[in-house]
Amino acid sequence: MSRRINRVATVSVHTSPLDQPGTGDAGGMNVYIVEVAKRLAARGVEVDIFTRATCRAMPPVIELAPGVLVRNVVAGPFEELDKTELPRHLCGFTSGILRVEAAHDPGHYDLLHTHYWLSGQAGWAAKQRWGVPLVHSMHTMAKVKNAALAEGDKAEPVERVLGEEQVVASSDQLIANTDKEARELVELYGADPARVATVSPGVDLSLFRPESPLLARGAGLLPHRTGPARRRLGLPRDAYVLLFVGRIQPLKAPDVLLRAVARMLDDDPALRAKLVVAVVGGPSGSGRCRPEGLQNLAAELGITDVMRFEPPSPQEELADWYRAADVTVVPSHSESFGLVAVESQACGTPVVASRVGGLCTAVADGESGVLIPGHDPADYAAVLRRLYAEPGLHARLARGAVRHGQSFGWDATVDDLLEVYTGAMSIPAVRVAAPAEVSA
């Protein structure tokens, strides 16, 4: 018989659940960890989230929500470190986690859920010490990322590949965001298919919903786009608004949207009076895809007058951006899921995205948006012009977007995760492989 799960240790070494998503290393994973932890706690499962302390003034323990504690473990300097520098502080981080557990009665944690390979490495050691199951979510995988590098993007190092292989070999359960990711875990990392479960991430359906009750019911045309969100954001009622949301980095390819816009304006100069292109998010990594690099690109392309660059925003404000936009564009080179795409659809705004990774699940091609193979700006320009010229098509996709987007909720994610957790508690633990057994 399986034991009840009372307390989960969640590990997120390289980015804190308290960070603002949409900039630096904070993105969908942070949102995932916070939303899942809050809902687990509401169901009586307490969650301690371990992260690396990046500020001396930060207390060691912060209550994020009732039943959810953030534990700031001191390991390495009190400053943001590049992910490539974190492996050398993992030993200190892991011993910090072990010390916290040792201060409690034995059996304080029932299960470990680690996020991203660096956390998996810490979980690998803690699992053996505590004798609890290790559940791991990759979020992104070096082998997948390296196969789809954007120009100017650095390849993920072999240390990460090896580290990921070790974590896969040591985990009792692996969580994939999509069936495609589950297959990649098996085919690229040699994961045991019996230990891989697909659990779809979600969106906060109380926040991400259409402005118009008519659209929410799947009826009507598009009255929401002339509603309060546009007024609040100072956008003209009759504008054609294209939106990019996310970390500004080569992998997310916001430059493809800018180049597509330049093409649209070349083909139809009259559109300039109507078009607004909003980019919401902050820098992540280096290179020309930083916000200032994008602003320079906009100037080079002669489209500065249609652009609005906005800093990373809380999700309440993002919901307004999604509702105010006609189309959200997600031209990423690689995406393990793409929460932005689902949030936009849940607000009734269709998505034009690249046909990669999790976006093939996050967007229902032809029903809630359009998936485009490759990253040729001309292809994006053609689809975006068509959606402008054909309001009937746009309205149909907007209705489909609500249906598809609203089918992803965090409560369903937590239902599925609890099932995986319960399963992990009742199956024999994997024998942890010695590093030499893991293939290079």
User: Can residue 16 be called a binding residue for ligand UDP (CB under 6 A)?
Assistant: no
Own/partner pairs for 219-224, CB < 8 Å, 24+ apart? 219/399, 221/391, 221/395, 222/391, 222/394, 222/395, 222/398, 224/323, 224/348
Instruction: In angstroms, give the least distance from the CB of 147 to ligand UDP.
Output: 17
Please identify, using beta-carbon distances, which residue of 262 and 280 lies nearer to ligand UDP: 280
Among 12, 15, 17, 27, binds ligand UDP (CB under 6 A): 27
Cβ distance to ligand UDP smaller for residue 67 or 254: 254
Min dist CB 413 to ligand UDP, Å, is 13
Q: Has 323 been labeled as part of a binding site?
A: yes
What x/- string results for residues 232 through 271 when contact with ligand UDP is judged by CB under 6 A? -------------xxx------------------------
Q: Which is nearer to ligand UDP, 25 or 379 (CB)?
A: 25
How many angstroms separate the Cα of 366 from the Cα of each of 292, 324, 342?
34, 21, 15
Beta bridge partners of 197: 175
Angle at 297 between CA 292 and CA 298, to 5 degrees: 95
Q: Known binder of ligand: residue 72?
A: no
Query: Strand 68-73 relative to strand 61-65: parallel, antiparallel, unpaired?
Result: antiparallel
Residue 270 beta carbon to ligand UDP: minimum distance, rounded to whole angstroms: 31
Of 95, 98, 119, nearest to 108 by C-alpha is 98
Binding residues among 264-323 for ligand UDP as defined by CB under 6 A: 280-281, 312-313, 315, 318
Please state the length of the chain. Answer: 440
Is 22 or 210 the residue whose CB approaches ligand UDP more closely?
22
Task: Select the residue interacting with ligand UDP from 13, 17, 21, 97 (CB under 6 A).
Answer: 21
Rounded-to-integer distance, Cα 430 and Cα 127, Å:
10
141 binds ligand UDP (CB under 6 A): no
Terminal alpha carbon distance of the chain: 38
Q: How far is CA 201 from the centre of its chain?
A: 9
Alpha helix ranges (H) inside 103-199: 116-130, 142-146, 158-170, 179-189
Q: Is 419 annotated as a binding residue?
A: no
Residue nearest to ligand UDP (CB): 27
- Sequence-distant (6+) residues with CB within 8 A of 86 are 13, 14, 52, 76, 118
Identify the residue among 17, 28, 283, 405 touching ligand UDP (CB under 6 A). 28
- Containing H/E element for 216? helix 213-216
Residue 21 assigned to a binding site: yes
> Closer CB to ligand UDP, residue 148 or residue 430?
148
Per CB under 6 A, contacts with ligand UDP among 157-216 are: none
Structure tokens at 156: 């993920």
C-beta of 113 vs 247, nearer to ligand UDP: 247
Q: Which residue lies nearer to ligand UDP by CB, 31 or 64?
A: 31
Cα–Cα dist 219/106, whole Å: 56
333 counts as binding ligand UDP under rule CB under 6 A: no
Contact 48, 71 (CB under 8 A): yes
Phi/psi-derived region of residue 357, left when phi > 0, alpha when psi is between -120 and 50, beta in every other case:
left
Could you list the residues known to form a binding site, using ranges.
14, 20-21, 25-30, 83, 116, 140, 160, 247, 252, 322-323, 325, 335, 343, 349
Q: Please report, as ranges, the residues that interact with ligand UDP according to CB under 6 A.
A: 21-22, 27-29, 31, 245-247, 280-281, 312-313, 315, 318, 337-340, 343
Could you list the residues known to form a binding site for 1D-myo-inositol 3-phosphate, using ranges.
14, 25-30, 83, 116, 140, 160
